[in-house]
Amino acid sequence: MRRVSILGATGSIGQNTLDLIRRVPGEFQVVALSGGQNIAQLAADAREMRAELAVTADPARLDDLRSALEGSGIRAAAGEAALIEAATLPADWIMSAIVGVAGLAPGLTALRQGGTLALANKESLVAAGPLMLATAAAHGARILPVDSEHSAIFQALVGEDRAAIERVVITASGGAFRDRPLSDLEHVTVAEASQHPNWDMGQRITIDSASMFNKALEVIEAHEFFGLKPDCIEVLVHPQSTVHALVGFVDGALMAHVGPPDMRHAIGYALNWPDRRALPVARLDLAAIGTLDFAQPDPARYPALDLARQVMATGGHSGAVFNAAKERALDHFIAGHIGFTRMSVLVARTLDEIGGGAAGEITLESVGRWDHLTRQHMDSLVVA
């Protein structure tokens, strides 16, 4: 039996991962599960899967978790050190699906086991790409991308010579406000921004899809993970979310990955890799779909995309600064402190003022310092 752990088990990616594991009884032994506030889900899943360890990120919820697990024999723990322990328990395959840069330290710890890290947590590649890749290389670990676009690129590259890549096209649905007049965007609500036209995901990434901060992170993620030059990476708005990404080769061929908007495909691919096995995703009826549309993203509607280019040109710790500024802008938008369009304005200003391009090795500590500095700066701009 393969031993698996899921960091961020109570979230959208975590629950989809458990759905796949549940369908093949006897194939996987669940070792550790982590969550945050959703103690009932975490305890129910830990009991059902007979996990060894259940961790909540929030120490204030440890008593609740202990009571929910009473009599089960499953160990309960809480806080950052416990998340690291969850990533340390021997496992062949670990899903990194915590949201935000909080997923970086557990993900790095998991890589040190030298097994497979299924990486949904794009923030860790944006904030610390070189550190993630170097840690994987030093410990003989493998990172398999779970973000649908990056899984699509990874699949399109099987058997191909990476030197023959000319360009990569990442598609974007356009998010909740694709068709809203630009003048409305200043006043859209959190509830409206939390509705994705095609994908069912956690609230934060859904709002990031409306602003295209998610796509901005994904461009940087592709740059870091596949080692692609920034000008090789293109973004197209594709409202149907059917073509997830395309890889263009020097001979002019474009290999597209086409599938339904269901994360269980990308998760299942990483779970079964290098094999392909049956997955419970809908089969596309292309005749019923009929038409697939593609368009250039409007920079005025999606200013985050230009910021991603700025980050890639700057390098250094600017990815950590960008990610932290984005996370904090989103916190303030969700809390009702700032409007939707203000997020990109404040992130742009913070990138200019904090930068992050200074030379120096990227370590967990250095990323933590830039992250902290950036969040403080963002907060001072919001108060001002």
Dig out the tokens for 243 from the structure: 């073509």
Among the residue ranges 93-101, 185-193, 285-293, 318-326, the one whose residues contact ligand NDP (CB under 6 A): 93-101
- The reply on whether position 12 binds ligand NDP by CB under 6 A is yes
Q: Exposed, middle or buried: residue 360 (CB in 10 Å: 0-12, 13-18, 19+)?
A: exposed
Asked if 5 is part of the footprint of ligand NDP (rule: CB under 6 A), the reply reads no
Whether residue 314 contacts residue 356, with contact meaning beta carbons closer than 8 Å, is answered with yes
Q: Which of 97, 153, 165, 222 is close enough to bind ligand NDP by CB under 6 A?
A: 97
**Which value, to the nearest 10 degrees, does the dihedral of the CA atoms of residues 375, 378, 380, 381 take?**
180
Closest to Mg ion by CB, 244 vs 375, is: 244
Which CB contacts under 8 angstroms, 24+ apart, belong to 62-70?
64/39, 65/39, 68/39, 68/40, 68/42, 68/43, 69/43
Binding to ligand NDP (CB under 6 A): which residues in 196-225?
A: 199, 201-202, 204-205
Q: Which strands make up the sheet holding 233-237, listed edge to edge? A: 233-237, 165-172, 243-249, 254-258
- CA separation for the pair 216, 210 (Å, rounded): 12
Q: Tell me which residues touch Mg ion (CB under 5 A).
A: 147-149
Closest listed residue to residue 361, CA positions, set 353, 370, 348, 373: 370
The interface region with ligand NDP, picked from 95-103, 168-176, 231-239, 246-254 by CB under 6 A, is 95-103
CB of 80 to ligand NDP, least distance (A): 8
Binding to ligand NDP, residues 105-164 (CB under 6 A):
120-123, 147
Torsion-angle region of residue 76: left (phi > 0), alpha (psi -120 to 50) or beta? beta
- Of 102 and 246, CB closest to ligand NDP: 102
Q: Which two tokens stand for residue 58?
A: 């929030």
- DSSP H helices, 7-98, are 12-22, 39-49, 62-68, 80-88
Is 35 among the residues that bind ligand NDP (CB under 6 A)? yes
Stretch that binds ligand NDP, among 3-11, 313-321, 345-353, 356-364 (CB under 6 A): 3-11
Tell me: does residue 175 bind ligand NDP (CB under 6 A): no
- Measuring CA to CA, how many Å separate 338 from each of 218, 327, 335? 24, 13, 8
Q: 298 or 331: whose CB is closer to ligand NDP?
A: 331
Q: Which stretch binds ligand NDP (CB under 6 A): 132-140, 195-203, 244-252, 318-326?
A: 195-203
Among 11, 248, 259, 356, binds ligand NDP (CB under 6 A): 11
For 293, the 3-state DSSP assignment is: coil
Binding mask 41-70 for ligand NDP (x = CB under 6 A): ----------------x-------------
CB 79 → ligand NDP: shortest distance, Å? 9
Which residues make up the interface to ligand NDP (CB under 6 A)? 8-14, 35-38, 57, 97-99, 102, 120-123, 147, 199, 201-202, 204-205, 263
